[in-house]
Amino acid sequence: MELVYSKHAGMRLDEPENFKAFKLVLEGFELGERPAIADLDYDNNDHVWIPPSQVLQFAKSDAWRSQFHKMIEGAEKYGWIHPDTQAIKAHIQWQSASNLPELNQVPEQSLVVVRQEHGYTVITLNRPEKLNALTRPMLQALKDAVLAATQDHACRAILITGNGRGFCTGQDLNERRDLEQAVDLGESLIQFYNPIITAIDQANKPVVCAVNGVAAGAGVGLALACDIVLAADDARFIQSFSKIGLAPDAGISWHLPRLIGSARTKALTILAEPISAVQAQEWGMIWATLPSEKLHSEAEALVKQLSQRPTLSFAAIKQAHRSTAINTLQQQLDLEATLQQKVGWSEDYKRGVQAFFDGTTAQFTGQ
């Protein structure tokens, strides 16, 4: 459904029977130009709040009005309805496609920002105007950043977060808009998503995720793959796959039942209803919630602290935890002995024990 505001012909409603999408189209305006329209309230560069009355003026039947109100009820679950004015939040699209940057033309280095600090790396998803929805170039940049950080011996801890109001809303469906062009979704997972999740899981160092705002679809999978997940107190997690006829991916079907159990996992993924960060913490889905204004500073402080602790110990902890999915008790006991033997010969173990007897703080080197 498109509410179109023409520079020369005023307002009209296009695609009135499409209740699955809603946007404002500015026809005849330059990219970024925001004309004054009665009752419309611009939220940021490419979103606007539209009162339902602007749409209902084009209603032609009671059945249509009923469908429209059902669309509003569905949008309310995802925070797209203003709590005070009941206005609908909509995407802005300018008329000329030539004025809009193509997804694949956005510079890769801007889509994922990598900041290397002493001992740790911060990886930030950087497409805030789209709530960090993932495109092919962005996935490639994220994959490269994660693999580089996991393989960098100078990096002893990793922080993954998002820029703007959302952490990550999963795959950008604008890349899949042309339904006539078949896309092998399985191949997309194998090429991009799976290597990222695997690299995080098998990294021999702790990976922390700071979830700001909404995490949806594969964005949830990216977060849950990390070792420690912190979330802003206003963050939400949404298993949105069934809303568009898909199944969970990005490791969600593996991680989530192990965190919150099968019953809750199936309900969340089938119903596709959002869960708050507070509820996620209570269920054991994430480690902690923090005030949104403190999330990034607290998360980076944690990663900095982890980068100064015994890295080999963390690697052993992660390996032991991974193996519980397939090992018997005896096999796990044998693995524990092997891992303990390895870390027992490390320099950090010697430093830790010496500091214990000296009553000082150990200065670990990761060796």
Task: Find the angle CA(345)-CA(357)-CA(321) to the nearest 5 degrees.
Answer: 45
Q: How far apart are CA 288 and CA 294, in angstroms?
A: 12
- Strand ranges (E), the chain: 2-6, 10-14, 23-27, 41-44, 47-50, 88-94, 112-117, 120-125, 157-162, 166-168, 207-211, 214-216, 228-232, 236-238, 275-276, 288-290
Q: How far apart are CA 204 and CA 199, in angstroms?
A: 9
Q: What is the pLDDT of residue 109?
A: 44
Task: Find the angle CA(23)-CA(24)-CA(29) to the nearest 5 degrees.
Answer: 140
pLDDT means over runs of 10, the chain (367 residues): 76 78 77 74 74 81 83 74 82 57 46 90 90 88 89 92 91 72 80 89 93 92 96 92 89 93 93 92 95 92 92 90 89 92 89 89 83
Homologous superfamily of 103-306 in CATH?
2-enoyl-CoA Hydratase; Chain A, domain 1 (3.90.226.10)
Q: How far apart are CA 301 and CA 321, in angstroms?
A: 25
Q: How far apart are CA 231 and CA 209, in angstroms?
A: 8
Q: What is the pLDDT of residue 271?
A: 92
Query: Could you report the per-residue pLDDT of 34-85, keeping only the tens digit for each?
Result: 777 777 887 765 678 888 888 888 777 888 888 888 888 877 766 678 887 8
Phi-psi category of 359—alpha, beta or left, where left has phi over 0 and alpha has psi -120 to 50? left
Q: Where are the domains of the chain?
A: 2-99, 103-306, 311-358
Q: What is the pLDDT of residue 44?
A: 61
Q: What is the pLDDT of residue 137?
A: 87
| β-strand pairing of 214-216 with 166-168 | parallel
Contact 116, 148 (CB under 8 A): no
pTM over 0.85: no
Q: How far apart are CA 325 and CA 28, in angstroms?
A: 58
Burial class (CB in 10 A: 0-12, 13-18, 19+), 191: middle
* Residue 99 vs residues 150, 164, 176, 179, 186: alpha-carbon distances, Å: 39, 24, 21, 24, 33
Q: What is the pLDDT of residue 234?
A: 92
Q: Which amino acid would we find at residue 276?
A: S
Strand partners, 146: none
Contact 266, 207 (CB under 8 A): no
